[in-house]
Amino acid sequence: QLIRFLMTTYKYLKDKTVGIVGCPFSGGQSKGGVDEGPIKLIEYGLIEQLVELGWNVEFDGHHKFNDFNPPPEHEDSIGKLKQPAYVSRVSEAVSEAVESHLKQGRLALTLGGDHSLALGTVSGTFSVYPDACLIWIDAHADINTPETTDSGNLHGCPVSFLLAVEDALLGNNPKVYETFSWLKPLLRPDRLVYIGLRDVDPPEKEILKKYGIKAFSMNHVDKYGIGKVVEMALDAVNPKRDRPIHLSFDVDALDPTVAPSTGTPVRGGLTFREGHYICEAIHETGLLVSVDLM
């Protein structure tokens, strides 16, 4: 397996260089601690492990987002959405960082942080590779809209903001569009696939069905096995195996016994090996250009 990993040919990368975007950010949800994740990953040797695998690493330190956050007395909301301006400003900065790495032919690796950061990572990827596809590994669909969200936390909404569809998923509040005016949705429903779902809100199910978005739940993993599920997922969004791939991996896709350090644990998730296999199989396509680990 290691030999296959090392011998993979990369179609879209200039060389074997990883550009790490460190994002200790938790503004898209209300629980403290998730911003410590990327810091600990670096402290515990991620860069050294990448170098051992034969990769060059570009990492200029974790991004500092304190200046993006308004004082508590000026914290904004738009309808149900909490801190949208804060999340928007941070995501825009992340988008620019990811875009910069990709334009230099690097693999962009973003360490988060809550999943609202995908507003930045996915938009950055699709601005460079508009024909890319998105493989979203998660217990949740994160496709709630400003109207359907119960919590108001943007970490449960990024996909609805990214989708390029004719219908207005974001509603009719002009403040939403103004706040996220930098965001240009380029993600088509047929370029998005989920693996690992097991906690999806009823409105999210309706959106998935309405737009024909492929989604493989843990039931599919149990029924077909992870190898077959990954192949079916790739067939759905990358049938000719010629499109760049953005992999967005939320650790809550893994079972809490494997990854307890998530703010949104859901029992019955992926095993350690299933999670690894997804990453291995997608890497071996040679089409991977951008990765989120949230």
Q: In this structure, are residues 57 and 20 in contact, taking their beta carbons and an 8 Å threshold?
A: yes
Greater confidence (48 vs 75) lies with 48
Cα Rg of the chain, angstroms: 18
Instruction: Look at residue 191 in the predicted model and tell me its pLDDT.
Output: 98
209-264, pLDDT tens digit by residue?
999 999 999 999 999 999 999 999 999 999 999 999 999 999 999 999 999 988 88
Query: How do residues 34-66 score in pLDDT, each as one tens digit?
Result: 889 999 999 999 999 999 999 999 999 998 876
Taking the alpha carbons at both ends of the chain, their separation in whole angstroms is 25
- Which of helix, strand or coil describes residue 33? coil
With contact defined as beta carbons under 8 Å apart, do 253 and 275 qualify?
Answer: yes
Q: How far is CA 164 from CA 190, 201, 208, 271, in A?
A: 11, 21, 14, 33
Question: How far apart (Å, rounded) are the C-alpha atoms in residues 16 and 173?
Answer: 44
* Banded pLDDT at 5 (limits 50, 70, 90): low
Please state the φ and ψ torsions of residue 170, each to the nearest 5 degrees.
-90, 5
The Cα 69–Cα 66 span in angstroms is 6
Buried b (16+ CB within 10 A) or exposed e, 35-49: bebbeebbeeebeee
Q: Which two tokens stand for residue 197?
A: 């779902």
pLDDT for residue 2: 60
- Residues 99 and 201: their CA atoms lie apart, in Å, by 32
* DSSP string for 190-208: GGEEEEEE----HHHHHHH
pLDDT in tens, 88-101: 999 999 999 999 99
Q: What angle do CA 132, 134, 140 make, to 5 degrees?
A: 165
Amino acid at 143: I
137-155 burial code (b ≥16 CB/10 A, e <16): bbbbbbbbbbebbeebbbb
List, in sequence order, every beta strand (DSSP E) within the chain. Answer: 17-22, 56-58, 77-78, 81-82, 107-111, 133-137, 192-197, 214-217, 245-249, 288-293
